[in-house]
Structure 1
Amino acid sequence: MSMFCNQCQEALRNIGCDAMAGVCGKTSETANLQDLLIYTLKGVAFFNQEAREHNLNHPATDRLIMDGLFTTITNANFDPESVADRIETALDERDEIKGRLQKQGLYEQQLEPDYVMWRTGRDGFEAKSEEKQVGLLSADNEDVRSLRSLVLFGLKGMAAYAEHALNLGYKKADISRFIERALVATEDDSLSADDLTALAMETGKYGVDVMALLDEANTTTYGHPEMTEVSIEVRNNPAILVSGHDLKDFEELLKQTEGTGVDVYTHSEMLPANYYPAFKKYDHFVGNYGNAWWKQKEEFSSFNGPVLFTTNCIVPPRDGYADRVYTTGATAYPGFPHIPDREDGEEKDFTQIIEHAKQLESPTQIEEGSIVGGFAHNQVTQLADQVVDAVKTGAIRKFFVMAGCDGRMMSREYYTEFAKQLPEDTVILTAGCAKYRYNKLPLGDINGIPRVLDAGQCNDSYSLAVVAMKLKEIFELNDINELPIEYNLAWYEQKAVIVLLSLLHLGVKDIKLGPTLPAFLSPNVAQVLVDKFGISGMTNVEDDMAVLNA
């Protein structure tokens, strides 16, 4: 076995990728180094927990852990050198924190687990990364292994959202403290399956907290998303296409392109940037180009200009556009120019990509018209009277939450057909790139309320939870599950895992999850989720509509 990775929905045979490369295109070298990075971060967390208790921790350590976890999310970083750099930094940080504790007489050398003491030069990373205790298969017990993975993948999604908030100056020590404690717990052989199940549910609690923090960061900085008609057409100017999730990167690029003659467009999960008031003042911010991440090979080719990845999801590129793709933050790909991180409070410098754009042709138009979005919790609250009246009069009979991720499997056409066949007295609540399966369908509206209400990015699933809790309050219900809301979610990567755990923490039951159940769930763990929360897998449109009372 050259590698083993089962963290995303595309896991080979729904078991795990175990060859020289994953289905995503990640090489076994990169996959193993990412496992070693996580292993090393557990050592950082081990010592930083103690440093935090004595106010000896440094804020930079929080970012190091967040960035390291984010780096290992599916389709974020394909560059083994970039990952190895982070391992070296993490080793130095781990040992520096340990030394700081020893200097204060707060830590004495003892029989330490391997993850807090291993050390080799860079030339030894590859061999170390292939040792059994480093990867996902370290635990012999299948259920323990499954639950550790569930927690770890939730932490990866949590760290991604925490880093976006941190980029805007928002952080909570409790979130970083939990990430450290949970990382160390995944190496604790004394924890039973019941202990780890409780930890997974606690991960969901902090998932809600981190999404609330990011929502606060985004809305305080850029205003509340508002109902917006977004152009999907192009202009005759050179342009930059921005993909990913990071709004701080997007803001700085907009500022630096102003007055240069270079337009800016969003792609995939960056679409919701169009909904924020602060970005609407930029005349050169044109709209959205293309669809979900997995269509980028065709859409990047026709865009003609450079592409900036602020986060995942990168697909190994075609030659026709590979020389005009840039990365920043946790993302990297061999051969792609990388925009360095901010230093000393300064903005990132996007000069290179802007100058590149000026030399290239304007985008080729691939679609016409516009799409409507911007229905985060504040906007929906403003429409509350309309929504409540429509529910009370029977104009809206039911809501269907169809949030989550899109992907390239043919089976995901199910979500398009499901949306098409929903009765006309139903409304879709969505967030994440799953919306691209139906957000351009002519589904109409109900009394002026669009039948597809897009709250935004995957982290804006928090908005959907806020809306549900508000409706529960308005209708004076005791249980969120009494609402006329059904959940038919699609997942792909680890941010969807933390969204799922967060919904479970909030008490949501009877979620349908597809297009496959996660490969990292053992039969016993999957059965617990079925028995306790009513989670079930996708079957076919007709049968699932009957189950969900469509």
Structure 2
Amino acid sequence: SLRELLVIGCKGIAAYADHAAILGYEKDDIYAFLMEALASTTKDLSTDDMIAMVMKAGESAVNTMALLDEANTSTYGHPEITEVNIGVRNNPGILISGHDLKDMEELLEQTKGTGVDVYTHGEMLPANYYPAFKKYDHFVGNYGNSWWHQNKEFESFNGPIILTTNCLVPLKKDNTYLDRLFTTGVVNYPGAKHIADRPEGGTKDFSEVIEVAKRCKPPMEIESGKIIGGFAHNQVLALADKVIDAVKSGAIKRFVVMAGCDGRHKSRNYFTEVAKALPKDTVILTAGCAKYRYNKLDLGDIGGIPRILDAGQCNDSYSLAVIALKLKEAFGLDDINQLPISFDIGWYEQKAVAVLLALLYLNVKGIRLGPTLPAFVSPNVLKVLVDKFDIKQIGTVEEDVAAMMAGK
């Protein structure tokens, strides 16, 4: 129902607002909207009034992601083009997952000079793109893939793991890493050690994690090489002239936004196959862990512009919206939907719903959503979304690629 769509969107907004608040950035109007939205769910509103409230949630999602972008970039600098190592070194390591960049900063500070390396996992990968973290030579790179590979990758990492936000997968019977699993912030797990919140004006204490790391073997190598990322709005707009020239010359025919979440279901192979099937004159814009379905494919570049531009974490979908709006301005268009951009979004949880509502608020039409539609999208809600926004469920790879290239 629309009510459920609103509530789950609000959960995503609240999560983004929490990330920003941890860095000291808050806005009362975000909290006021959340209270207004939740209060509205207790009333018997008409469909039109509910749609208006859902659109207001989209506006709030844009504002909240903008605030989080400001928090992250003011604190750690603007993400920049970065080659990220996906191999390992021969020192003991700590693996940090989730979204909390302040935890990342404090861990890097406390591991300086200890002989312990730090690696990112999952949604923490974009920490590699921030200038503030590049001064730490014991920050090695990224280990592994998206959240659902944890049972294998946390096992083979050999060292302690810190979960800073959502996406912890329950351990399986044959997993042996519970005694080196640490949680912090909103995450907790039976039998895992929990790192307490930072005291007022202080930092979290990661000393126990570091001591555990020193007793562990170095990580087992599961892959090697490098991947490229760091294409948030500031970096892409620095390349704007090059991008605009490539579009005008026809070198780039289309952008395909493939942001959102990854999941374990085989149907998500669709996104890998779309990435492979897209013509060589297309560029994929991505953010969130959906990227792991294709960010290690060798898709080449167009005149020096990589064909996969990773903006960062799921909240960095805001960057993709900023890029689209700036391109609209650069080409003198009245409507974002006149741009050669298609949206093929993978959804899994509340943050992706907040991103979807943000795109709808920005009047993006014709979004493909998959691999399945959320269960709370009832036939009536689907009719509203189709009629008003031309939302589509993903189809076959061949049909969808052909339709996107035809601007449909």
- Normalised-by-shorter TM-score class: over 0.9
Runs of 4 or more off by more than 6 Å in structure 1? none
The alignment of Structure 1 onto Structure 2 pairs a total of residues equal to 404
What is the one-letter code of the residue matched to 1:293?
W
Alignment partner of 1:239 out of 93, 108, 130: 93
Contact 2:254 2:405 in 1 (8 A): no
Does 2:308 correspond to 1:452? yes
Could you say which residue in structure 1 is the equivalent of 2:394? 538
SS of equivalent to 2:405: coil
C-alpha distance in 2 between matches for 1:421 and 1:150: 32
Could you say which residue in structure 2 is the equivalent of 1:223? 77
| 1:216-249 Cα distance to aligned partner (Å, 9 max, x none) | 0000000000000000010111111011011011
Alignment partner of 1:159 out of 4, 10, 14: 14
Could you say which residue in structure 1 is the equivalent of 2:374? 518
C-alpha distance in 1 between matches for 2:341 and 2:227: 24
Does 2:101 correspond to 1:268? no
Does 2:20 correspond to 1:198? no
What is the one-letter code of the residue matched to 1:348?
K
C-alpha distance in 1 between matches for 2:215 and 2:35: 46
| 1:436-488 Cα distance to aligned partner (Å, 9 max, x none) | 01111010000000000000000000000000000000000000000000001
Question: Shift of residue 356 of structure 1?
Answer: 1.0
C-alpha distance in 2 between matches for 1:280 and 1:203: 36
C-alpha distance in 1 between matches for 2:52 and 2:16: 22
Higher relative contact order (CA 8 A, sep 6+): 2
TM-score under structure 1 length normalisation: 0.73
Question: Shift of residue 187 of structure 1?
Answer: 2.0
Could you say which residue in structure 2 is the equivalent of 1:336? 192
What is the one-letter code of the residue matched to 1:173?
D
Could you say which residue in structure 2 is the equivalent of 1:279? 133
C-alpha distance in 2 between matches for 1:150 and 1:354: 42
Does 2:276 correspond to 1:417? no
SS of equivalent to 1:338: strand
Could you say which residue in structure 1 is the equivalent of 2:181? 325
What is the one-letter code of the residue matched to 2:110?
Q
What is the one-letter code of the residue matched to 2:292?
Y
Could you say which residue in structure 2 is the equivalent of 1:315? 169
| 1:491-511 Cα distance to aligned partner (Å, 9 max, x none) | 111000000000000010000
Alignment partner of 2:35 out of 180, 187, 194: 180
Could you say which residue in structure 2 is the equivalent of 1:499? 355
Could you say which residue in structure 2 is the equivalent of 1:254? 108
Could you say which residue in structure 1 is the equivalent of 2:24? 169
C-alpha distance in 1 between matches for 2:102 and 2:42: 34
Could you say which residue in structure 1 is the equivalent of 2:238? 382
Unmatched segments (≥5 aa) in structure 2: none
| 1:362-407 Cα distance to aligned partner (Å, 9 max, x none) | 1000101000000000000110111011111110010000000000
Question: Shift of residue 194 of structure 1?
Answer: 2.4
What is the one-letter code of the residue matched to 2:329?
E
C-alpha distance in 2 between matches for 1:345 and 1:150: 37
SS of equivalent to 2:5: helix
Does 2:320 correspond to 1:467? no
C-alpha distance in 2 between matches for 1:348 and 1:534: 47
C-alpha distance in 2 between matches for 1:277 and 1:230: 13
Question: Shift of residue 546 of structure 1?
Answer: 2.1
Once the two structures are overlaid, the 10-residue window that deviates more, 326-335 or 397-406, is: 326-335
C-alpha distance in 2 between matches for 1:263 and 1:149: 43
Could you say which residue in structure 1 is the equivalent of 2:227? 371
Could you say which residue in structure 1 is the equivalent of 2:385? 529
CA RMSD, aligned part only?
0.9
Unmatched segments (≥5 aa) in structure 1: 1-145
Could you say which residue in structure 2 is the equivalent of 1:148? 3
C-alpha distance in 1 between matches for 2:190 and 2:38: 29
C-alpha distance in 1 between matches for 2:372 and 2:383: 15
Could you say which residue in structure 1 is the equivalent of 2:342? 486
SS of equivalent to 2:262: coil
Question: Shift of residue 284 of structure 1?
Answer: 0.6
Contact 2:260 2:289 in 1 (8 A): yes
| 1:111-154 Cα distance to aligned partner (Å, 9 max, x none) | xxxxxxxxxxxxxxxxxxxxxxxxxxxxxxxxxxx122111111
SS of equivalent to 2:344: strand
C-alpha distance in 1 between matches for 2:323 and 2:161: 34
C-alpha distance in 2 between matches for 1:306 and 1:225: 27
SS of equivalent to 2:95: strand
C-alpha distance in 1 between matches for 2:46 and 2:244: 46
SS of equivalent to 1:548: helix
TM-score under structure 2 length normalisation: 0.98
Question: Shift of residue 343 of structure 1?
Answer: 1.7
C-alpha distance in 2 between matches for 1:509 and 1:249: 37
What is the one-letter code of the residue matched to 1:366?
I
SS of equivalent to 1:473: helix
Bigger Rg, structure 1 or 2: 1
| 1:80-114 Cα distance to aligned partner (Å, 9 max, x none) | xxxxxxxxxxxxxxxxxxxxxxxxxxxxxxxxxxx
